Amino acid sequence: MTIAVGESMPNGSFGVMTGEGPGSITSDELFAGKKVVLVSVPGAFTPTCSMNHLPGFLAHADEILAKGVDTIACMAVNDVFVMSAWGRDRGVDNKIQMLADGNGDYTRALGLELDARTFGMGMRGQRFAIIVDDGIATHVAVEAPATFEVSKAEAILAAL
């Protein structure tokens, strides 16, 4: 079942790149006591994700953070090395935390998996953005197939 407004974010963990190499962060570490915008893309380096979705959040990061958001996090069903490389390629610096959901476990726990086998991409995550306040989903924006409207930075900024 898909996560809904008012529900607790599931427990889980994400891969992150640290100064010492691959590491992890738990959902509690990410969400507890914080306001977080969690953005999910079907894949790092893919066209809409690389040219519009992530860059939009980067361009509006200061405005989003000024609305009381502690963390903007971008998640994809990719490994930590790919997410780290994509973040460097897009110049996210410390404005957006890049999260790897390598096996898609967290995506499945949210009920937001995407069967992209037709495109040779396997199982991925849908394109979405969730505003999380102290571990509770307060806004859930999931894109319909082949659309890019409700989860883009401008829409999330308006929802804050």
In the chain, where are the structural domains located? 13-159
pTM for this prediction? 0.93
- Residue 155, pLDDT score: 97
Mean pLDDT along residues 21-49 = 90
- The CATH fold assigned to 13-159 is Glutaredoxin (3.40.30)
- Residue 44, pLDDT score: 77
pLDDT band of residue 67 (cuts 50, 70, 90) is very high
Across the chain, mean pLDDT equals 91
Pick the catalytic residue: 49, 69, 75, 76?
49
Beta strands in the chain (DSSP E): 13-18, 21-26, 35-40, 71-76, 97-100, 113-115, 123-125, 128-133, 136-142
Check whether 149 has a pLDDT greater than 70: yes
74 is catalytic: no
CB 50 within 8 Å of CB 146: no
